[in-house]
Amino acid sequence: APVKSGMSHAYSTVESFEEIALDYTTTITPLKKLFLPVRETLLTFDTETNDVTEYSEPVAPCVVFGAHACDINALNSLDLVFRDGPYPDPYYTARRNATLIVGISCMPTDTCFCHLWGSDEARFGYDLFLQDLGDRFWVSISSVAAAEVLEESTTLREATDEDRAAFAAATRRRNEAFSSDIPFVQDVAMLMDTYHSDPFWAELGSRCLNCTACASVCPTCMCFDIVDELAFDGKTGERVREWDCCTNPQFATVAGGHNFRPSERERVRHRMYHKLNGFKEKHGSMLCVGCGRCVDACKTGINPIEVLKFFDE
């Protein structure tokens, strides 16, 4: 659940409800770290015997309590790649299937733009979703397991006209709270193609520090590297998967030393292109969910809002 962490919030294991901060804005790191760890062992090997052993940590049942709609939609995008695609990832799938997701409503900050991509509402991907109405919660139920939890733990009642009016009012307040400084631009995916060679990308890329902070906080960045690490005995080792980022200077380097994206301009443009065009072409939705984490994380102002402002101008 989200808990207070310094000046911000983070998802952490909790022992009591008093630890949970349901009025949080955005967590520092996204939910993806629970399903796609920063670093995980895939297998172990022995070079002397040529033995290879699949490795996986036990997956315990888990409840994520207090996820915002943008993070739930981000998980839905990751599901398309790691769980629902032609080659499901067994590690991700095991964690995802063992997790109950309880979402909760939120109010946007100045850097939120989830409403532009339709990520301000979670239509699926959760088990329960709670809309805070002040003295009560409007509860949406999306799974049998969640319904059973509610039946065993509390007494529900059907929503009244008064409840529906309060729900509509809360939705209006949220919609009106989004920053008007972030422009709404139609056909962003098409514009990414139209302005593919524009000097704008050179200017944006010139700011990049190659720090990969954007990918570390992004809830949908899914790039990873796989490395074989030999133990000190020189005989055994393990194959490890760890987060990577397409803005990493070596990310597109192949055997022979050729780098398909040697400049910051090409790398930054590629990252934005995947978020705002490539993923949508294949899966029908933006890969960016407008959570605003990268806006805060990038110290040089490289983020999708800058792209929207460019298109708007």
At 241-275, the pLDDT tens digits run 999 999 999 999 999 999 999 999 999 999 999 99
Higher pLDDT among residues 38 and 155, named by residue: 38
pLDDT per residue over 194-221, tens digit each?
A: 999 999 999 999 999 999 999 999 999 9
| DSSP-assigned letter for residue 274 | I
Q: What is the mean pLDDT of residues 270-281?
A: 95
Nearest CA to 128 out of 140, 138, 120, 119 is that of 140
- Mean pLDDT for the stretch of residues 40-48: 94
Question: Sign of the C-alpha dihedral, residues 307, 251, 298, 66?
Answer: positive
Q: What is the pLDDT of residue 141?
A: 94
User: To the nearest whole number, what is the mean pLDDT of the chain?
Assistant: 94
pLDDT of residue 93: 96
Predicted pLDDT at 295: 96
CA distance 163 to 212: 45
**Percent of the chain predicted with pLDDT > 70:** 100
Query: 313: which 2 tokens?
Result: 């101008």
pLDDT digits over 75-134, tens only? Answer: 999 999 999 999 999 999 999 999 999 999 999 999 999 999 999 999 999 999 999 998
Residue 138: helix, strand or coil by DSSP? Answer: strand
Q: Give every CB contact of residue 179 below 8 A, 6+ residues apart in sequence.
A: 108, 110, 111, 112, 113
pTM value? 0.94
pLDDT at 57: 85
Q: Please, what's the b/e burial string for 242-280 (b: 16 or more CB within 10 A of its CB; e: otherwise)?
A: ebbbbbbeebeeeeeeeeebeebbbbbbbbbbbbbbebb
Angle, in degrees to the nearest 10, between helices 69-82 and 90-97: 140
> Rounded to the nearest 10 degrees, how much is the dihedral formed by the CA atoms of 195, 71, 173, 297?
-60
> Quick check: 1 pLDDT over 90?
yes
Taking only the tens place, the pLDDT of each residue in 130-158 is 999 989 999 999 999 999 998 898 888 99
pLDDT for position 240: 96
The C-alpha angle with vertex 163 and arms to 162 and 168, in degrees rounded to 5, equals: 100
